[in-house]
Structure formats: C-alpha cells, structure tokens
C-alpha cells in the first residue's frame, strides 16, 4: 500500500531554533495518526509543513500524490486534497454558516451556488448542525463553530484531514461534541493526522501514536504505546498527565 503522507528526514528551523530535527513517518490510506508531545516539540509545525503552510529546510514530504517539499508544487491543487482545521475556528463572522462552507466551493472549485448549498447541507448533516445553516458564527457555541470549521474542510472532499489541537480552547462538553465528529470520520475511513492533548481519545481511535520530543519522533507505535512507553521521556510525559 502506498503512503498517503510520507515525511523523510524533515528539518525545519526558525532562525537559530531547530523545530524539526530529522522527522520521518508515513501514513497509509484510512489510517488515523495521533501526534502527542509537550509544547514546543514540533507537533504543530510538522502538521503545517504537510499542508505547506511552512516550508522545510531539508528532507522530503509527499502528501496525496504531491511532492509538498518541491518549491514549485501547485498549492491550490494540494489544498483541494488536504483539509486542515486549527484551534481557532477562522470562520468569517459576517457570513452565515452556509456561506462560510460554500465560499471555497464557488470561488476555488467554481461550483454553482445551488450545488454548493447541497454540499453544505450534506456536510452540516455529517457534523450534526443542519439546523444552523443560516446562523452566523456569533450565534454558535465554540464547539459548534469548530464543527462548522470541520464541515467547511469536508466540503472540499479532501483525501486527508489534519487537525491541530482542535479542542484545546473548548470546555469538556464542547470537546466531546467535536471528538464525536472526528470519531465518525475515522469510522468512515478518512485518513487523518491529529495533533492532540486528548490522550484517551488518541488511544481510542488512533491506529498509530507518534510521540514527539525536542523536534524528533521519539517513539511510535499502536494504541498500546501509552501503556508501554519505552523511553523515560514518554513515561514522564504520561505521568505528568500531559
């Protein structure tokens, strides 16, 4: 099986600070990968490099058939294949939920408004928010806004979904709403990479757990990784409740 995503010896520096120091891993179609680790370990930077929101200094990244590390990669085509959802919802406050979702469909995919509205209805059903079609972001809870952000990415029918700490700003109840949507995507076979601090959730749905430390992949394994850490660093991370 060919990898949907592959990082090979990836290095990334911000000035004198080395954030990624030889990161390598691959993700197969339909796999759910959880990346865990302390703040500053390089988790989110790795995710942003996959979507080419950051360029790398050394190494090679391929994703969904694109050589992401190629300076001449077609970013528009790349981002049709990769959906990314951040901690901040990044919704347009002056647009309805429906228009937040359809904007990229009509402007990037050149889809007609009626067809785009049908797609919006489908993805809002998927995240359980069909009744909020004509609401504005300020009328929604944080959890609902995050689910709209997920729906907006799903509307583009990506081959890969990236989630960067999408529940870190939410209270436990709202976190549960969002995690339920992500679990549903996993069950439907969506290839997903998520940076998360939700250890129980990672253990529940991830096929692979990657522990990053000091810009490196420190440990990698299946769902039992958190029960049987091999290094003192991962043992300390788990014992600290992080």
Cα angle for residues 132, 188, 142 (degrees, 5° grid)? 30
In this prediction, the residues of the chain whose per-residue pLDDT falls under 70 are: 1, 241-242
Q: What residues form DSSP beta bridges with 62?
A: 6, 67
Residue 121 placed within a domain: no
CA–CA separation, 147 vs 154, rounded Å? Answer: 10
The answer to whether the beta carbons of residues 80 and 95 sit under 8 Å apart is: no
Determine, yes or no, domain membership for 24. Answer: yes
Residue that is written with structure tokens 């469909």 in the block: 105
Q: Is 31 left (phi over 0), alpha (psi -120 to 50) or beta?
A: beta
Q: Which domain CATH number covers 186?
A: 3.40.50.300
**Into how many domains does the chain fold?**
1
* Coil/strand/helix, residue 161: strand
SS3 (DSSP) at 175: helix
Query: How many Å apart are CA 200 and CA 20, to the nearest integer?
Result: 26
Q: Which two tokens stand for residue 239?
A: 């014992």
Which domain does 68 fall in, by range? 3-89+159-239
Residue with tokens 């076979």: 189
Is the pTM value of this prediction over 0.85? Answer: yes
Give the pLDDT of residue 67. 97
pLDDT at residue 1, as a whole number: 55
- Asked if residue 229 belongs to a domain, the reply is yes
The kind and range of the H/E element at 124 are: helix 113-126
Q: Which helix (DSSP H) or strand (DSSP E) does residue 183 occupy?
A: helix 172-187
Is residue 69 domain-resident?
yes
**Are β-strands 17-28 and 32-36 bridged in parallel, bridged antiparallel, or unpaired?**
unpaired
Task: Give a yes or no: residue 104 inside a domain.
Answer: no
Q: What is the pLDDT of residue 241?
A: 63
Looking at the domain assignment, is residue 110 inside a domain?
no
pLDDT at 168 (0 to 100): 87
What would the pLDDT profile of 15-55 be if each residue is shown by its tens digit?
999 999 999 999 999 999 999 999 999 999 999 999 999 99
Residue 11 falls within a domain, yes or no? yes
Q: What pLDDT score was predicted for residue 239?
A: 87
Q: Nearest CA to 174 among 140, 135, 197, 203?
A: 140
């Amino acid at each position: 099986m060919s990898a949907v995503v592959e990082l090979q010896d990836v290095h990334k520096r911000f000035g004198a600070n080395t954030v990624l120091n030889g990161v390598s891993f691959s993700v197969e179609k339909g796999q759910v990968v959880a990346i865990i680790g302390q703040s500053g370990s390089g988790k989110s930077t790795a995710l942003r490099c996959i979507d080419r929101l950051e360029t790398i200094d050394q190494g090679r990244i391929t994703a969904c058939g694109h050589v992401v590390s190629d300076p001449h990669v077609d970013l528009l085509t790349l981002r049709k294949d990769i959906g990314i959802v951040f901690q901040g919802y990044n919704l347009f406050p002056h647009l309805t939920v429906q228009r937040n979702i359809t904007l990229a469909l009509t402007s990037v995919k050149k889809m007609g408004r009626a067809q785009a509205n049908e797609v919006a209805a489908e993805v809002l059903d998927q995240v359980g928010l069909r009744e909020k079609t004509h609401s504005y972001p300020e009328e929604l809870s944080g959890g609902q806004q995050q689910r709209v952000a997920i729906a907006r990415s799903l509307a583009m029918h990506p081959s890969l979904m990236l989630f960067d700490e999408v529940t870190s700003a939410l209270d436990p109840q709202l976190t549960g709403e969002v995690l339920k949507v992500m679990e549903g995507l996993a069950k439907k076979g969506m290839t997903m990479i998520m940076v998360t601090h939700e250890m129980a959730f990672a253990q529940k749905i991830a096929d692979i757990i990657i522990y990053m430390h000091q810009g490196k992949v420190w440990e990698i394994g299946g769902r039992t990784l958190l029960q049987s850490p091999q290094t003192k660093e991962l043992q300390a991370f788990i014992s600290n409740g992080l």
